Amino acid sequence: MVKKSLIIGVALTFLLSVCLLRVSYLASEGRLFSEASDDQSTRRLTVSTVRGTIYDRKGVPLTNTGSEIRAAIAPTAAAMRTLRESLPSSESAPLLERLREGGPILARFAEWLPPTDGIVQFQTPLRYGTDALAPHVIGYVNGGGVSGVEYAFDDWLTACSGEQSASFRVNGLGQPIADVQPERFSSLDNALAGVTLTLEVGLQQLAESAATMTRGAVVIADAKTGEIRALVSRPDFDQNNVAAALSAEGSPLLNRAITDYNVGSVFKIVTTAAALEAGIPVSQTFACNGAVQVGDTAIHCHNRLGHGVQTMEEAFANSCNPYYVQLAQQVGAARLYAMAVSLGLARALPLCDNWQTARAVLPSLATLLSSPSELANLAFGQGQLLVTPVHLSALVGAVVNDGVWQTPSLLVGLTDRFGKTTPADRPTAVRAFSASTAAALRRMMELVLTDDGTSANAAPLWGTAAGKSGTAETGWYEDGSQVVQSWMAGYCPADDPRYTVIVLVENSIVSGERSAPIFRTLCEELYFYDLQQEKR
């Protein structure tokens, strides 16, 4: 009897345990079904996705500067009434038609709608505002970054993206429930992280205003560090309408500041440096009779009557080609080539990670040794030589910095959402020539802008400056006229340089435009800009 009772008890215990397990399982399944139901009863709309921000050196945003109004709208009676009453029928009709399909929908508006149940409105950042600066530096996006900094730092800027969204409660048919207010979500603070550049908004605005050439470029850099403060390429383009630029005249998407050009007499800075480093004194004289014969070729001076006997300083101020042909012959091909290489004129220059200038083109040493005409042409910046405006910015920087050459830079570093910037590594500066050679070059560049020099019209009325002009023949023609590039490369103020200033006017003979007046305007504007900064 006891044994039978024990068996019955064990059996009842077993059955009770099975029942408890089944109840627990059903309860668990119920929670899962409930959670699944909650997930299926909401619909979340992404209103905007914003990439990480690009800043100037002072933390002023260069992207995400514009804004527009966007709204997520549920097909409630109140929302539809607000659309009918607030918008012209031409605008409201398409929206109402979409809402009748079940909604919710997204829409853009020029002005805020009245607060209404079922409408969630957002002020959404626009990547490029109507007054966007430095389009050739910033670049543009088409899904991902396509050019400029947008391309160079595409992965990082994408990782820093933020989002705005609205969440609606919906019924079993996926339709928003009228009595339940939608929720708004925002992670836009994530997009405060991004990239900080060496550009300075005030200087970029100044440069863009002064860059009145039809085609060309302007580069302004910190004279002491080589950091680029402003970079302009003309013509520019609208980052919100890149398609228009693809078919426009003048190739507006081309960044002329980092594109190779014939450089002309600005290269005489390099020839002079090589001569002084070779021990040739500034008192060295050569005669200019209007031309010099090199093999079968006569190389003419812009002064066809000739300058007569000149010292190095006089020939530099007069930009005399025959003098510099004879000087280069005395310097020798090897020394001139080595000086050009040490000044970065035989390679591309990195601007930041994943982005660099075009590679400068310099005749090989073998070519210069075997061809007297190539050496003669190189002496005053003609022949095969091609460089970018950024290369010349670094060249002038070496003159300012007592012969120490520095790689130009556009990047300060990567910035987190709290504004902390991790500085980028800077390449080591190298000595290209002596401090005494640099001092002699500065004296000569000051003479160029005097009444006795070739570029008196580049001298600012306010403040002081120094520089070297260049008129580079290209050997090719447009509309029957030879294409000539007009250059002005210098620095200001002359006595205490703060900025290097490079101006390129492309095809100046055809356009009738010149680089010297633009250089003068830039130096004057920089003078007043610094006065304003000192008062703050």
pLDDT of residue 27: 40
Is residue 46, in this structure, part of any structural domain at all? no
Is residue 358, in this structure, part of any structural domain at all? yes
Is residue 402, in this structure, part of any structural domain at all? yes
Residues 127 and 162: their CA atoms lie apart, in Å, by: 12
Q: What is the mean pLDDT of residues 171-199?
A: 83
Is residue 446, in this structure, part of any structural domain at all? yes
Is residue 192, in this structure, part of any structural domain at all? no
Is residue 19, in this structure, part of any structural domain at all? no
Q: What is the mean pLDDT of residues 50-75?
A: 96
Query: Which residues, 6+ apart, have CB-to-CB distance to 229 below 8 Å?
Result: 57, 198, 199, 200, 203, 204, 220, 221, 222, 499
Is residue 97, in this structure, part of any structural domain at all? no
Longest dimension (CA), the chain: 141
Higher pLDDT among residues 177 and 283, named by residue:
283
pLDDT of residue 19: 44
User: What's the start-to-end Cα distance of the chain, in Å?
Assistant: 105
Tokens (6 digits) for 459? 């001298």
Amino acid code (one letter) for 522 = L
Q: Which of 67-76, 99-108, 245-254, 282-291 has the lowest mean pLDDT?
A: 99-108
pLDDT of residue 102: 79
- The structural domain count of the chain equals 1
Cis peptide before 104 (omega within 30 of 0): yes
pLDDT digits (tens, 9 = 90+) for 317-336: 999 999 999 999 999 999 99
Is residue 501, in this structure, part of any structural domain at all? yes
Share of the chain above pLDDT 90, in %: 79
Mean pLDDT of the chain: 90
| CATH number, domain containing residue 343 | 3.40.710.10
pLDDT of residue 220: 98
Q: What is the mean pLDDT of residues 488-498?
A: 97
**Domain that residue 480 falls in:** 201-535
CA dist 142 → 132, 158, 234 (Å) = 17, 12, 22
Residue 44: band (very low, low, confident or very high) from pLDDT cuts 50, 70, 90: confident
> Does position 376 have pLDDT exceeding 90, yes or no?
yes
**Contact between residue 261 and residue 233 where contact means Cβ atoms under 8 Å apart:** no
pLDDT digits (tens, 9 = 90+) for 426-444: 888 999 999 999 999 999 9
> Does position 316 have pLDDT exceeding 50, yes or no?
yes
- pTM of the predicted model, to two decimals? 0.89
pLDDT of residue 179: 64
> Does position 14 have pLDDT exceeding 50, yes or no?
no
Coil, strand, or helix at residue 184?
strand
